Every structure is written in structure tokens, then in C-alpha cells.
Amino acid sequence: MVGNTTDAEDLTQEAFLLLFRKIHTFRGESAFSTWLHRLVVNTVLMHLRKKSLPVVSMETRPAPDGEATPSSVEIGASDLLLEGSIDRINLGRCIAQLPAGSRAIFVLHDIQGYQHREIAEMLGRSEGVSKSQLHRARKRLRELLHEIQREKYRERRVGAQKTLCADEG
């Protein structure tokens, strides 16, 4: 959770010291493991809140190993991280547009990893219905995502035409 073995060991020790100091506050209304888990999670969260954010120059970018390296990215170049976030938002919106039954089966199978047999048992349907609903959901999802893609290209084309017309004028 903290990304550093030394910090994790320090937080473990801090959590056990806190446990020693606070054991008298355990009321037994829940399992001891639940209470201890909450205590440890709170210790880590407090540590993360206290930790200041690193200062990063706009001229550097994170390397695959996490170190900052001088950026060779051009100003105005597309931001892949931002595009990925936008794609996830669009995917979520498209999934939300699926019919309820198809959406449920799509989420259970493709996102949560259930098998058709398990989905059929959960929803009280046959495996065949589960498979056909999944097929329909994927097909509709493809259509919705293609629509978004076409709209994106249309906007780029219109923007390029406006720039071209402004340059000529």
C-alpha cells in the first residue's frame, strides 16, 4: 500500500505499538481481527495523509521504473494517460446504456469473471440465455464505442477544416 518495504515495516511496528496502547479500548462488539484491521488501515491512512506530495518539474515525466526523467514530449502532443481516462469514462457510459439484463450478464462475465453456468444459477436463467445476452451486450457495446469513435474523428476533421479555412483567410 505504501510502495516501500521500509515504510511498510515502520508502519507495521507503529500499528503494533498502537495496538499495545489501545487494546483496552476494544469492546468486543466485533471480531478482534476486524478491530485490528481497522486500526492498521487507519495507521496507514494517517501516514499517507501526512506524507507530502513529491514536487515534479513540468519538464520531467515518470519513467517505467518510477524515476523522473527529462521529458522529450512535445508540447501539444496527445496525453495518453488522459486519453486512457477518457476511454474508461466512455466505456462506463456505454456499459450504462446497455439493457439491464445484458448489462448484468456482461458485468458478471467480462468484468467480474463468472462462468455462464454460475451466472445462470445466480439469475435463474439457462446458460444459453446467458451466452446470447452476453453476445448481444458485446455487439451493442461495439456499436456504441464505434459511434463515439466516429464522433471523435468527425470533431477532429471539422477542427482541421476550421484551421485550414482560418489559415487561408
Q: Cβ neighbours of residue 68 under 8 Å, at least 6 residues apart? A: 56, 57, 60, 61, 62
Q: Do 19 and 99 sit in the same domain of this protein?
A: no
Q: Do 48 and 86 sit in the same domain of this protein?
A: no
DSSP state of 124: T
Which pLDDT does position 153 carry in this prediction?
85
Q: Do 89 and 24 sit in the same domain of this protein?
A: no
* CATH code of residue 111: 1.10.10.10
Q: Which domain holds residue 140?
A: 80-168
- Report the domain count for the chain: 2
3: pLDDT strictly greater than 60: yes
pLDDT tens-digit map of 32-69: 888 888 888 888 888 887 776 666 666 655 566 655 55
Which pLDDT does position 103 carry in this prediction?
92
Q: Do 105 and 144 sit in the same domain of this protein?
A: yes
Confidence of residue 146 (pLDDT cuts 50, 70, 90): very high
Polymer length of the chain: 169
72: pLDDT strictly greater than 60: no
Mean pLDDT score, 109-114: 87
Element at 116 (helix H, strand E): helix 116-123
pLDDT tens-digit map of 87-105: 888 888 999 999 999 999 9
> Across all residues in the chain, what is the average pLDDT?
82
Backbone phi, then psi, for 27, in 5-degree steps? -95, -10
Q: Do 90 and 40 sit in the same domain of this protein?
A: no
